[in-house]
Amino acid sequence: MQHPIAILDSGVGGLTVAKEVMRQLPRERIIYFGDTLRTPYGPRPYEEVLRFTREIVDYLVQFGPKMIVIACNTATAVALEDIRTRVNIPVVGVIHPGSRAAIGRTKSGLIGVIGTEGTIRSKAYEHALKQLSPNIEVLSKACPRFVPLVEQGNFYSSETHEAVSESLEGLKESRMDTLILGCTHYPFLAETIQAVMGPEVSLISSAEETAREISTILHEKGKLSQGDVIPVHQFCCSGDPRLFKMIAQDWLDEQIELTPVVWQVPKIG
């Protein structure tokens, strides 16, 4: 039996991580849960995000995963250490991988971070960046308008461009050369964010680095999938399955053409 990698998110944002895992680790089976009914997590109280994350993990463990990936920055900031104490398999978040990538990219030493209110309030990125490089300067800003736009599949409209431009006001004038997209939803808006910030600013998505970390951990534990079995992925959501499926199919594109997918709408909570 092929044990899956379980990936959870507050909605569709974690698909950015799922896509990288499918690209870098094509033999691995994924079970994905997007909590689209209760998104966004950013404005919610700490205790609520913790409870939601625990509920989703409790749902996912029935599939016997060999690893859990919390592909939501807010849930990572709130619940990563808690979940690690509740399961006996590796649990990976997205904050430290994204921070490592940003440290490796910056030349000016000033790194910007945009994220949900919960992630920015937690200062999780600031702590992770300072832990890796104490002299790094960090400029953080919450962008609460982004997640609802992504969850609606509204990536390229004039409304989206206006929201991005207004939200990034103040960051554009700084001397930062690296900007962490501190929410896995934000890569859906990367084209607009890049246009607003300008070509001299490097955007960092934690997805690629997180997939590398997943690969490293599974390799070290001897749990990378072997052989030529084609994995069958499962994608679950708690809200509107039609919108979720439309966004997922558009984002994952060729990845889900290469492997079969099962779509589910489970009940949790």
- Residues serving a catalytic function are 72, 183
Buried b (16+ CB within 10 A) or exposed e, 229-238: eebebbbbbb
Specify whether the CB–CB gap between 235 and 263 falls below 8 A: yes
- Distance, in Å, from the CA atom of 101 to the CA atom of 96, rounded to the nearest integer, reads 9
Nearest to 193 by CA among 125, 123, 141: 141
Specify whether the CB–CB gap between 77 and 70 falls below 8 A: no
H-only helix segments in 87-145: 95-105, 117-122, 124-132
